Each structure stands twice: as structure tokens, then as C-alpha cells.
């Protein structure tokens, strides 16, 4: 791991990096920490170009969603990096799901590609632990710009009357309800742990679609916990959240299928 620190110090891209945290040197391209480690340990020397490219692509896809947490403009849209310009910033619930998925996928990557080299695998697994620590607080405290807006608006009183049509009133009621729904740190990590256990049970690419369907249902129920089962807007809220999370579900599904098929 001393070699890993040398690699990062010699290629600083973040002037505020923490020397005790390798991933703070590459906050928006975290896969490069893993990639540079595999390169500097000589692991890649025993593999052909296509195999190396495949590994690099997997690492990039597995980590890019968490990179995206810092890539957005004030209007809530990502700038560069992450899942690409123009994508909406991850919601807090999406970030939590991506975090659980990413850490689990990195462990599968390690078991799949590094088992024959115990020394390299040991160092890589230590990097996964650092990656987990680096991203845990960011994910736990993350709120998208839209979520922050809904939270602030829901707390405002004595607003001047505004003429709204039926659809606008429904949307306002739903987003205000979402805005006042609170989650403790323990509750958030319990959900992450639940996701993680389910990802850890994945053994084959053919199982991915069913799991992602189940996880999306769990996420939707988690986000709408503040709604009564008798709330007339509950199903509309669930449908809206499901639509908003479809790209995240697709992103996770895609890299798990690649990882389990490689």
C-alpha cells in the first residue's frame, strides 16, 4: 500500500487530498486508484490488451456513479464524468443503492480476477475497504439539489396563493410529502446493508434482472415510507420514483451482467 500512496502523490489532481485517503486524490475518477494499483504491482503484465481493457471498463462502470456525486452544476445536473453530462444527479436513495452495488461488485471483481495472485488480491481488497470508507459518509449525507429544494419548500409557511391546475397540485402535495420524510443514519445504513446482502447472493448474469426488479421495488417503498397506505397519491408517487430511478437500475444491471459474464 506504500507503493499506492506513492502513485497517488505523484499524480495529484486534488490539491485538498488527504494523504491517508488514496481516493481523495481521484474523487471523480476513483477507478484510476484501482487501475493504477493493478498496473504498478505488475498484475497487468501477465494479461493481454483485450483482457486489461475489459477489466478497466468494469472498474470504471462499477465506480462511476459514486464519482458523479461531485459532478453537478447548481441546477442539479451533472457536468462531466460520472454517468455523463446531462444526466440528473443521483437522488439520495439511488446513491445508497449504487454504493451497496459498487462495493459488492468490487469484491466480486477481486474474487473473479485476482484469486490466483494472493498478494495483489490482498492489496486490492484493502483498497476496497478504503473506497468504502471514503464514500460512506458522502452517501449517507447526500441529497440531490431537487431533494434539498423539496425539503426547504415543504418547511415554508404563509406562501402567497398560486393558481395551480389539478396535476400541479398533486405534484406539489407529493413532493412536499417527500420533502418532510426523514431518515436516520442508522436507517440509511440498514437499507444499504440489506441491498448488499442481496447483491452478495448474485451468482449468475441470468439472476440480475429479477434482483434489480426486487431492489427497485424496495427502493420505491423506502422513499415513500412517509405516505399512508390509504393516501390517494401513493401510487402516483411510486410510479414517478420508479420512472426516475430506471436509468440507475439499468446502469447497475448492465455492469453486473458484464461482470458475471466475463
DSSP result, 125-160:
HHHHHHHHHHHHHHHHH---HHHHHHHHHHT--SPP
* Res 63: pLDDT: 96
* pLDDT exceeds cutoff 70 at 97: yes
* Res 60: pLDDT: 97
**How far from 189 is each of 105, 195, 196, 256, CA to CA, in Å?**
18, 10, 10, 22
pTM of this structure: 0.87
More confident residue, 246 or 169: 246
139-152 in b/e form (b: 16+ CB < 10 A) is bbebebebbeebbe
* Res 10: pLDDT: 44
Distance from C-alpha of 159 to C-alpha of 134, rounded to nearest angstrom: 40
* pLDDT exceeds cutoff 60 at 6: no
Distance from C-alpha of 83 to C-alpha of 127, rounded to nearest angstrom: 22
Query: Do the Cβ atoms of 121 and 115 come closer than 8 Å?
Result: yes
* Res 206: pLDDT: 97
Q: What percent of the chain has pLDDT over 70?
A: 85
Q: What is the mean pLDDT of the chain?
A: 87
* pLDDT exceeds cutoff 90 at 73: no
pLDDT class of 70 with cuts at 50, 70, 90? low
* Res 158: pLDDT: 67
* pLDDT exceeds cutoff 60 at 88: no
pLDDT class of 76 with cuts at 50, 70, 90? very low
Q: What percent of the chain has pLDDT over 90?
A: 70
* Res 4: pLDDT: 46
Sequence-ordered list of residues with C-beta below 8 angstroms from that of 180, at least 6 positions apart, any chain: 151, 154, 155, 226
Query: Do the Cβ atoms of 111 and 55 come closer than 8 Å?
Result: no
Distance from C-alpha of 216 to C-alpha of 253, rounded to nearest angstrom: 11
| Best CA proximity match to 195, nearest among 99, 82, 51 | 99
Amino acid at each position: 500500500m506504500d507503493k499506492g500512496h506513492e502513485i497517488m502523490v505523484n499524480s495529484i489532481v486534488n490539491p485538498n487530498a488527504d494523504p491517508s485517503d488514496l481516493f481523495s486524490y481521484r474523487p471523480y475518477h476513483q477507478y484510476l486508484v484501482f487501475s493504477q494499483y493493478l498496473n504498478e504491482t505488475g498484475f497487468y503484465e501477465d494479461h493481454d490488451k483485450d483482457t486489461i481493457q475489459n477489466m478497466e471498463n468494469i472498474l470504471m462502470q462499477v465506480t462511476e456513479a459514486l464519482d458523479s456525486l461531485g459532478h453537478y452544476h447548481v441546477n442539479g445536473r451533472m457536468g462531466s464524468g460520472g454517468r455523463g453530462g446531462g444526466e440528473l444527479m443521483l437522488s439520495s436513495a439511488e446513491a445508497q443503492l449504487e454504493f451497496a452495488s459498487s462495493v459488492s461488485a468490487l469484491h466480486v471483481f477481486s474474487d473473479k480476477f485476482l484469486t490466483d495472485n494472493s498478494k495483489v488480491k490482498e492489496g486490492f481488497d484493502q483498497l476496497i475497504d478504503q473506497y468504502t470508507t471514503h464514500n460512506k459518509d458522502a452517501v449517507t449525507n447526500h441529497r440531490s439539489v431537487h431533494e434539498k429544494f423539496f425539503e426547504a419548500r415543504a418547511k415554508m409557511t404563509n406562501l402567497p396563493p398560486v393558481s395551480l391546475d389539478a396535476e400541479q397540485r398533486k405534484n406539489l402535495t407529493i413532493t412536499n410529502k417527500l420533502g418532510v420524510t426523514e431518515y436516520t443514519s442508522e436507517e440509511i445504513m440498514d437499507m444499504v446493508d440489506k441491498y448488499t446482502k442481496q447483491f452478495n447472493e448474485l451468482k449468475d448474469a441470468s439472476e440480475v434482472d429479477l434482483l434489480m426488479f426486487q431492489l427497485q421495488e424496495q427502493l420505491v417503498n423506502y422513499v415513500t415510507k412517509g405516505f399512508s397506505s390509504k393516501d390517494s397519491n401513493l401510487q402516483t408517487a411510486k410510479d414517478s420514483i420508479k420512472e426516475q430511478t430506471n436509468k440507475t437500475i439499468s446502469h447497475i444491471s448492465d455492469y453486473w451482467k458484464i461482470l458475471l459474464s466475463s
